[in-house]
């Protein structure tokens, strides 16, 4: 079976109709991973036993003529920040080098309950902190479209695995753009749902008020199918919303004629690469031809988003990462004589440079004398940024922007300049700050054949419109 452009429907129906078996399909993906992943680095851990057991279960169902669930036999990859019972989970960090979780992340459990075959855990920036995947404590990920370039981050392995046909779909996490930006860099589709659309239970926390789980796929439909699977209230996550989940696949078919699409000048300003600008302008033109009404809007506080984001995200991170102390699980420094020495050395030796930088920045922002000036100030600016979107969505149904100001940059290009790396998230952090859904879909290439991404943002809990616009655009550009 040709793994290139293999979609959920094609994989599932091939298993259902016994044209192949789920076991053979999983084996084919492992063969592909064995041959190609040494150059790319998308996977950290393979979970062959678990995958083949699930695949055999799906084959048994198909053999009996039973209808397979929506992801029946579909090979998937899971970002290594989601815990998996019995399968090593490191969050890309040496401090969790040998961690074998005793429970499953809800999103993973829902994927497997829907028949998905988990091939393994995908590479990422340490604790999902990064925009290039170069902060993985284990190895960098190389962009499948150009091995000298980064795949984006922090879900670089999940994006690269889909782009390089080493999984049909994958799950990633997005705290400031960590799904949408790598999707854009690798030329695949990536969706960050609304905050609360699904469960964060079992997602190793980076910044709890900004963290989201979401899918990568080759098509908008595949991403919609995975969202359908992982969405919905979970009693184990009190922030998951108790709201009905629409039929996203049915929504994809609805026409986009008459929808109002906002274009914000603040997302087309200084620092935007000319090739990205023109690709996005062409996409807007295409949406207009499809019958959408293009409306100029303003999101006036956008220029303050990165500043507010990096205070809130690091403040929450400094608190969340306090749990890594070498007592109950994970790495412990062996040379300490007292408990407090043990904590310090464990964290010094276990965390990488970027994680320490963020813990320091967050602790500083929360410390006595600076709390009001930084943390409280950032929370107020968060309210202003959210109000910007509320006002815009009174006028429009969705907003389109570039996903990232540039196409994929070179490995090593920004690694010594943390501020430059943070500014790469300029168009994506706002959706995390406000909690609104956003998708990145491919919208052309640069002269150097690097993919460019179009970001489509929607109202809270209106993934349906975001997916509908993305799907219409995708069909129009096939």
What is the bridge-based pairing of β-strands 169-174 and 75-79? parallel
Rounded to whole angstroms, the Cα distance separating 334 from 339 reads 11
Cα–Cα distances in angstroms (integers) from residue 278 to residues 200, 283, 362, 453, 471, in the given order: 37, 9, 37, 12, 21
Please pick, from the candidates 236, 250, 281, 476, the single residue that binds other proteins as defined by CB under 8 A: 236
Cα–Cα distances in angstroms (integers) from residue 260 to residues 263, 267, 337, 456, 470, in the given order: 10, 18, 65, 12, 14
- 148 carries an active-site annotation: no
Sign of the C-alpha dihedral computed for residues 94, 95, 99 and 104 taken in this order: negative
Q: Check residue 246 for interaction with other proteins (CB under 8 A).
A: no
Residue list 81-140, contact with other proteins (CB under 8 A): 98-100, 102-103
- The rounded radius of gyration (Å) of the Cα atoms in the chain is 21
SS3 261: strand
Q: Check residue 301 for interaction with other proteins (CB under 8 A).
A: yes
Nearest CA to 46 out of 130, 165, 132, 166 is that of 166
Residue of 32, 54, 79, 221 with catalytic role: 79
Mask of contacts with other proteins, 154-183, x by CB under 8 A? ------------------------------
Please pick, from the candidates 69, 70, 246, 418, the single residue that binds other proteins as defined by CB under 8 A: 418
Q: With contact defined as beta carbons under 8 Å apart, do 226 and 110 qualify?
A: no
Residue list 425-464, contact with other proteins (CB under 8 A): 434-435, 460-461
Instruction: Choose between 195 and 427: whose C-beta lies nearer to other proteins.
Output: 195
Tokens standing for residue 121: 């855990």
Nearest CA to 282 out of 452, 157, 120 is that of 452
Tokens standing for residue 125: 């920036």
Please pick, from the candidates 66, 348, 391, 448, the single residue that binds other proteins as defined by CB under 8 A: 348
Q: Check residue 352 for interaction with other proteins (CB under 8 A).
A: no
Cα–Cα distances in angstroms (integers) from residue 390 to residues 296, 380, 438, 440, in the given order: 15, 15, 15, 21
Residue of 173, 178, 184, 240 with catalytic role: 178
Q: With contact defined as beta carbons under 8 Å apart, do 184 and 131 qualify?
A: no
Give 371's DSSP letter: I
- 178 carries an active-site annotation: yes
Mask of contacts with other proteins, 184-203, x by CB under 8 A? -----------xx-------
Please pick, from the candidates 310, 409, 427, 473, the single residue that binds other proteins as defined by CB under 8 A: 310
Measured from the CB of residue 375, what is the shortest distance to other proteins in angstroms?
Answer: 9
Q: Check residue 232 for interaction with other proteins (CB under 8 A).
A: no
Residue of 47, 131, 132, 154 with catalytic role: 154
- 79 carries an active-site annotation: yes
Instruction: Choose between 224 and 434: whose C-beta lies nearer to other proteins.
Output: 434
Please pick, from the candidates 64, 67, 289, 328, the single residue that binds other proteins as defined by CB under 8 A: 328
Instruction: Choose between 249 and 333: whose C-beta lies nearer to other proteins.
Output: 333
Please pick, from the candidates 107, 256, 259, 361, the single residue that binds other proteins as defined by CB under 8 A: 361
Rounded to whole angstroms, the Cα distance separating 282 from 436 reads 25
Give the number of residues in contact with other proteins, rule: CB under 8 A.
Answer: 74
Q: With contact defined as beta carbons under 8 Å apart, do 123 and 141 qualify?
A: yes
Q: Check residue 241 for interaction with other proteins (CB under 8 A).
A: yes
- Span of 169-177, 266-274, 276-284, 362-370 interacting with other proteins by CB under 8 A: 362-370
Residue list 367-386, contact with other proteins (CB under 8 A): 367, 374, 376-384, 386
Where in the sequence numbering do the catalytic residues fall?
Answer: 79, 154, 178
């Amino acid at each position: 079976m040709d793994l290139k452009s293999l979609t959920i429907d094609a994989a599932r129906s091939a298993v259902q109709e016994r044209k192949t078996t789920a076991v053979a399909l999983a084996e084919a993906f492992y063969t592909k991973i064995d041959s190609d992943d040494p150059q790319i680095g998308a996977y950290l851990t393979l979970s062959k036993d678990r995958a083949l057991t699930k695949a055999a279960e799906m084959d048994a169902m198909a053999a009996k003529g039973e209808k397979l669930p929506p992801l029946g036999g579909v090979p998937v990859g899971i970002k290594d920040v989601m815990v998996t019972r019995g399968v090593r989970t490191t969050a890309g960090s040496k401090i969790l080098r040998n961690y074998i979780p005793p429970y499953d992340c809800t999103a993973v459990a829902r994927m497997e309950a829907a028949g998905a075959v988990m091939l393994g855990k995908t590479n990422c920036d340490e604790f999902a902190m990064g925009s290039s995947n170069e902060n993985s404590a284990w190895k960098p990920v190389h962009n499948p479209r150009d091995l000298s370039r980064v795949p984006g981050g922090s879900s670089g392995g999940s994006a690269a695995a889909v782009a390089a046909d080493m999984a049909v779909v994958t799950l990633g996490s997005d705290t400031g753009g960590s799904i949408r930006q790598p999707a854009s860099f690798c030329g695949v589709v990536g969706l960050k749902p609304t905050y609360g659309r699904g469960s964060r239970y079992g997602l190793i926390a980076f910044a709890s008020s900004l963290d989201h789980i979401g899918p990568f796929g080759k098509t908008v439909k595949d991403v919609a199918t995975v969202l359908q699977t992982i969405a919905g209230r979970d009693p184990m996550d009190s922030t998951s919303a108790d709201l009905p989940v629409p039929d996203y696949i049915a929504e994809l078919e609805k026409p986009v004629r008459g929808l109002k699409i906002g274009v914000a000048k603040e997302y087309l300003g200084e620092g935007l690469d000319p090739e990205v600008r023109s690709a996005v302008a062409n996409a807007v033109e295409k949406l207009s031809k499809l019958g959408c009404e293009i409306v100029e809007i303003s999101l006036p506080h956008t220029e303050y988003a990165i500043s507010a984001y990096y205070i809130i995200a690091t403040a929450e991170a400094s608190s969340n990462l306090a749990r890594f102390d070498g007592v109950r699980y994970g790495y412990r420094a062996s040379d300490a004589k007292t408990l407090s020495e043990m904590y310090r050395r464990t964290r010094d030796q276990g965390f990488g440079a970027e994680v320490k930088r963020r813990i320091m920045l967050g602790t500083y922002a929360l410390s006595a004398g600076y709390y009001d000036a930084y943390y409280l100030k950032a929370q107020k600016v968060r309210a202003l940024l959210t109000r910007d979107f509320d006002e815009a969505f009174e006028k429009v149904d969705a907003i389109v922007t570039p996903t990232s100001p540039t196409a994929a940059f070179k490995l090593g290009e920004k690694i010594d300049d943390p501020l430059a790396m943070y500014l790469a998230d300029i168009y994506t952090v706002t959706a995390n700050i406000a909690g609104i859904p956003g998708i990145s879909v491919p919208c052309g290439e640069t002269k150097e054949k690097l993919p460019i991404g179009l970001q489509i943002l929607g109202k809270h809990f209106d993934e349906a419109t975001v997916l509908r616009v993305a799907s219409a655009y995708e069909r129009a550009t096939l």
